[in-house]
Amino acid sequence: MKLTAILQKRYSTKKFDSSKVIAAETWQQMEDALRLAASSVNSQPWHFIVTASDAGKQRMMKGTEKYAYNAPKIADASHVVLFCAKTAINDADIMRVLDKEENDGRYINAEFKQQSLMVKQGYFGAQRDAGSLQHWAEKQTYLNVGNALLSAALLEIDAVPMEGIDIDALNDEFDLSKQGLTALVMVSFGYRAADDFNASLPKSRLAGENIITRV
Protein backbone atom coordinates (compact mmCIF):
# COMPACT_ATOMS: atom_id res chain seq x y z
CA MET A 1 0.00 0.00 0.00
CA LYS A 2 1.32 3.45 -0.89
CA LEU A 3 1.87 6.01 1.86
CA THR A 4 -0.76 8.39 0.51
CA ALA A 5 -3.38 5.64 0.60
CA ILE A 6 -2.47 4.85 4.22
CA LEU A 7 -2.75 8.51 5.20
CA GLN A 8 -6.10 8.80 3.44
CA LYS A 9 -7.39 5.79 5.37
CA ARG A 10 -6.09 6.95 8.79
CA TYR A 11 -8.56 8.93 10.88
CA SER A 12 -9.36 9.73 14.51
CA THR A 13 -11.47 6.86 15.77
CA LYS A 14 -14.50 8.00 17.73
CA LYS A 15 -15.81 4.57 18.77
CA PHE A 16 -13.85 1.37 19.36
CA ASP A 17 -15.02 -2.22 19.22
CA SER A 18 -14.33 -3.42 22.77
CA SER A 19 -14.33 -7.07 21.65
CA LYS A 20 -11.27 -6.62 19.43
CA VAL A 21 -7.81 -6.77 20.97
CA ILE A 22 -4.48 -5.92 19.37
CA ALA A 23 -2.31 -9.03 19.11
CA ALA A 24 0.74 -9.08 21.39
CA GLU A 25 3.25 -9.24 18.55
CA THR A 26 1.56 -6.30 16.81
CA TRP A 27 1.47 -4.26 19.98
CA GLN A 28 5.17 -4.91 20.53
CA GLN A 29 5.80 -3.17 17.22
CA MET A 30 3.83 -0.19 18.51
CA GLU A 31 5.98 -0.04 21.63
CA ASP A 32 9.04 -0.24 19.38
CA ALA A 33 7.67 2.76 17.48
CA LEU A 34 7.42 4.70 20.75
CA ARG A 35 10.98 3.83 21.68
CA LEU A 36 12.54 4.42 18.26
CA ALA A 37 10.94 7.78 17.46
CA ALA A 38 13.14 10.74 16.53
CA SER A 39 14.03 13.53 18.97
CA SER A 40 16.37 16.50 18.92
CA VAL A 41 19.96 15.50 19.78
CA ASN A 42 18.52 12.06 20.60
CA SER A 43 17.26 13.52 23.89
CA GLN A 44 14.25 11.18 24.28
CA PRO A 45 12.66 13.48 26.91
CA TRP A 46 9.58 11.32 27.37
CA HIS A 47 7.96 8.49 29.26
CA PHE A 48 4.93 6.34 28.40
CA ILE A 49 2.30 4.83 30.65
CA VAL A 50 0.75 1.90 28.78
CA THR A 51 -2.26 -0.20 29.70
CA ALA A 52 -4.43 -2.90 28.19
CA SER A 53 -6.16 -3.88 31.44
CA ASP A 54 -9.54 -2.76 32.74
CA ALA A 55 -7.90 -1.62 35.98
CA GLY A 56 -5.34 0.43 34.09
CA LYS A 57 -8.01 2.01 31.91
CA GLN A 58 -9.97 2.98 35.01
CA ARG A 59 -6.90 4.82 36.25
CA MET A 60 -6.51 6.53 32.88
CA MET A 61 -10.15 7.59 33.04
CA LYS A 62 -9.36 9.62 36.17
CA GLY A 63 -8.32 12.20 33.60
CA THR A 64 -11.75 12.32 31.95
CA GLU A 65 -14.02 13.47 34.78
CA LYS A 66 -14.16 16.89 33.09
CA TYR A 67 -14.15 15.31 29.63
CA ALA A 68 -16.71 12.51 29.89
CA TYR A 69 -17.02 12.20 26.11
CA ASN A 70 -13.51 10.73 26.00
CA ALA A 71 -14.08 8.04 28.65
CA PRO A 72 -15.55 5.43 26.23
CA LYS A 73 -12.59 5.91 23.91
CA ILE A 74 -10.43 4.69 26.76
CA ALA A 75 -12.71 1.99 28.16
CA ASP A 76 -13.41 0.34 24.79
CA ALA A 77 -9.93 0.62 23.27
CA SER A 78 -7.53 -2.30 23.20
CA HIS A 79 -4.54 -0.31 24.50
CA VAL A 80 -4.12 3.19 25.88
CA VAL A 81 -0.91 5.22 26.10
CA LEU A 82 -0.38 8.33 28.21
CA PHE A 83 2.45 10.34 26.66
CA CYS A 84 4.47 12.18 29.31
CA ALA A 85 7.21 14.77 28.91
CA LYS A 86 10.11 15.59 31.20
CA THR A 87 9.76 18.81 33.16
CA ALA A 88 13.53 19.05 33.66
CA ILE A 89 16.64 17.46 32.19
CA ASN A 90 19.72 17.08 34.39
CA ASP A 91 23.24 15.75 33.87
CA ALA A 92 22.17 12.24 34.90
CA ASP A 93 19.56 12.22 32.13
CA ILE A 94 22.16 13.35 29.61
CA MET A 95 24.68 10.72 30.71
CA ARG A 96 22.10 7.94 30.56
CA VAL A 97 21.53 8.69 26.88
CA LEU A 98 25.22 9.26 26.21
CA ASP A 99 26.26 5.96 27.82
CA LYS A 100 23.58 4.09 25.88
CA GLU A 101 24.84 5.65 22.65
CA GLU A 102 28.36 4.52 23.55
CA ASN A 103 27.22 0.98 24.37
CA ASP A 104 25.39 0.86 21.05
CA GLY A 105 28.60 1.72 19.19
CA ARG A 106 27.89 5.30 18.14
CA TYR A 107 31.29 6.63 19.27
CA ILE A 108 34.50 5.42 17.69
CA ASN A 109 36.56 7.00 20.45
CA ALA A 110 36.29 8.96 23.71
CA GLU A 111 36.78 12.28 21.92
CA PHE A 112 33.60 11.83 19.91
CA LYS A 113 31.67 11.03 23.07
CA GLN A 114 33.03 14.15 24.78
CA GLN A 115 32.04 16.28 21.81
CA SER A 116 28.51 14.87 21.92
CA LEU A 117 28.34 15.57 25.66
CA MET A 118 29.33 19.21 25.09
CA VAL A 119 26.69 19.61 22.36
CA LYS A 120 23.96 18.13 24.56
CA GLN A 121 24.93 20.15 27.62
CA GLY A 122 25.14 23.34 25.60
CA TYR A 123 21.79 22.80 23.95
CA PHE A 124 19.94 21.85 27.12
CA GLY A 125 21.65 24.68 29.00
CA ALA A 126 20.43 27.22 26.46
CA GLN A 127 16.87 25.90 26.71
CA ARG A 128 17.07 25.93 30.50
CA ASP A 129 18.42 29.49 30.61
CA ALA A 130 15.60 30.62 28.33
CA GLY A 131 13.04 29.00 30.61
CA SER A 132 11.78 26.84 27.73
CA LEU A 133 13.16 23.39 28.54
CA GLN A 134 9.81 21.80 29.47
CA HIS A 135 8.10 23.38 26.46
CA TRP A 136 10.86 22.01 24.23
CA ALA A 137 10.52 18.52 25.79
CA GLU A 138 6.78 18.65 25.13
CA LYS A 139 7.41 19.51 21.47
CA GLN A 140 9.73 16.51 21.17
CA THR A 141 7.05 14.31 22.71
CA TYR A 142 4.51 15.52 20.17
CA LEU A 143 6.91 14.36 17.45
CA ASN A 144 6.56 10.93 19.05
CA VAL A 145 2.76 11.17 18.97
CA GLY A 146 2.82 11.83 15.22
CA ASN A 147 5.17 8.91 14.70
CA ALA A 148 2.86 6.68 16.76
CA LEU A 149 -0.22 7.61 14.74
CA LEU A 150 1.52 6.85 11.45
CA SER A 151 2.96 3.61 12.84
CA ALA A 152 -0.52 2.52 13.94
CA ALA A 153 -1.89 3.21 10.48
CA LEU A 154 0.91 1.16 8.91
CA LEU A 155 0.01 -1.70 11.26
CA GLU A 156 -3.71 -1.28 10.39
CA ILE A 157 -4.52 -0.26 13.96
CA ASP A 158 -7.06 2.47 14.60
CA ALA A 159 -6.20 5.28 17.00
CA VAL A 160 -7.33 8.59 18.45
CA PRO A 161 -5.18 11.24 20.17
CA MET A 162 -6.86 13.07 23.05
CA GLU A 163 -5.86 16.40 24.58
CA GLY A 164 -9.25 16.48 26.32
CA ILE A 165 -7.79 15.11 29.53
CA ASP A 166 -7.23 16.55 32.99
CA ILE A 167 -3.46 16.90 33.22
CA ASP A 168 -3.42 17.66 36.95
CA ALA A 169 -5.59 14.64 37.75
CA LEU A 170 -3.34 12.32 35.76
CA ASN A 171 -0.18 13.79 37.25
CA ASP A 172 -1.66 13.03 40.68
CA GLU A 173 -2.91 9.56 39.74
CA PHE A 174 0.48 8.41 38.46
CA ASP A 175 2.61 10.56 40.79
CA LEU A 176 4.29 12.11 37.76
CA SER A 177 5.43 15.42 39.23
CA LYS A 178 7.69 13.66 41.74
CA GLN A 179 9.26 11.80 38.81
CA GLY A 180 10.04 15.01 36.94
CA LEU A 181 7.30 14.34 34.38
CA THR A 182 4.00 15.77 33.26
CA ALA A 183 1.14 14.11 31.41
CA LEU A 184 0.73 15.62 27.96
CA VAL A 185 -1.62 13.73 25.65
CA MET A 186 -3.36 10.35 25.64
CA VAL A 187 -3.75 8.05 22.63
CA SER A 188 -6.14 5.09 22.46
CA PHE A 189 -5.42 2.23 20.07
CA GLY A 190 -7.64 -0.60 18.87
CA TYR A 191 -10.13 -1.33 16.11
CA ARG A 192 -13.08 0.80 15.06
CA ALA A 193 -16.63 -0.14 15.88
CA ALA A 194 -18.90 -0.91 12.93
CA ASP A 195 -21.05 2.10 13.77
CA ASP A 196 -18.25 4.63 14.23
CA PHE A 197 -19.70 7.60 12.34
CA ASN A 198 -16.30 9.14 11.65
CA ALA A 199 -15.07 6.10 9.72
CA SER A 200 -17.29 6.79 6.69
CA LEU A 201 -16.82 10.53 6.51
CA PRO A 202 -14.52 11.82 3.75
CA LYS A 203 -11.11 13.10 4.83
CA SER A 204 -10.85 16.87 4.53
CA ARG A 205 -7.53 18.69 4.26
CA LEU A 206 -6.44 21.95 2.66
CA ALA A 207 -5.09 21.61 -0.86
CA GLY A 208 -1.35 21.56 -1.39
CA GLU A 209 -1.32 24.96 -3.10
CA ASN A 210 -2.82 26.48 0.08
CA ILE A 211 -0.09 25.30 2.43
CA ILE A 212 2.99 24.41 0.35
CA THR A 213 5.39 26.97 -1.13
CA ARG A 214 7.92 25.51 -3.56
CA VAL A 215 11.04 27.62 -4.08
Which residues are the active-site residues? 14, 73, 163
170 φ, ψ to 5°? Answer: -70, -35
SS3 50: strand
User: Quick one: which of 192, 196, 195, 197 has its CA closest to 18?
Assistant: 192
d(CA 44, CA 140): 8
**Distance of alpha carbon 80 from its chain centroid, rounded?**
11
Helical spans, DSSP H, in the chain: 3-9, 24-36, 54-60, 71-75, 91-103, 110-129, 133-154, 167-173, 208-211
Query: With the C-alpha atoms ordered 114, 120, 124, 129, is the resulting torsion angle positive or negative?
Result: positive
User: How far apart are the C-alpha atoms of 28 and 36, rounded to whole Å?
Assistant: 12
Side-chain-side CA neighbours of residue 157 (13 Å): 27
The answer to whether 120 touches 94, Cβ cutoff 8 Å, is yes
